[in-house]
Amino acid sequence: MIKYCLICKNCQNSFDSWFSSSTEYEKLKKLNHINCYVCNSLEVEKNLMSPSIIRPKIKDSKDKKYIKIKDKIKEYQKFIKDNFNYVGDRFTYEARSIHYNKKKNEKGIYGSASDRDIKELEEEGIETQIIPWLKENDN
């Protein structure tokens, strides 16, 4: 036995009906033996609007949004890699030497620094920017 949720296209009435198999349903449908018990219309169809079908779509669009943001960050990372020199943990040191020695640097620098380091640099008048960063293996 198989249970179908049916919907009447004429009066929007939805109701459950039991069939011995899906082929039996198709057969009865073809013979016009399935009709709405409210309005007697033969415009009755299987109602596919069940939540289990809708849910994956919502999840999908959310994932797409997340992937889009990740792609933007990756693009940004690539730009920085191409246009800035990576100094790693020496970021605060390099930032100071550029600031105080007026060291000529064609490229900017990027690297890691703690919140305290950034705050200190800020107090010394050295502007830094915190950028979102994804690890290479974070896919």
Is-contact 64 124, C-beta < 8 A? no
What minimum distance in Å lies between the beta carbon of 50 and Zn ion?
A: 20
One residue of 2, 5, 39, 54 binding Zn ion per CB under 5 A: 39
Q: Residue 21 or 40: which CB sits closer to Zn ion?
A: 40
Concatenating the DSSP letter of every residue in 15-54 gives EEEEES-HHHHHHHHHTT----TTT--S-EEE----HHHH
What minimum distance in Å lies between the beta carbon of 5 and Zn ion?
A: 14
- Between CA 90 and CA 117 the distance in angstroms is 11
95 part of the interface to Zn ion, by CB under 5 A: no
What minimum distance in Å lies between the beta carbon of 8 and Zn ion?
A: 3
14 part of the interface to Zn ion, by CB under 5 A: no
What type of residue sits at position 128?
A: T
| Binding interface with Zn ion (CB under 5 A) | 8, 10-11, 13, 36, 38-39, 41
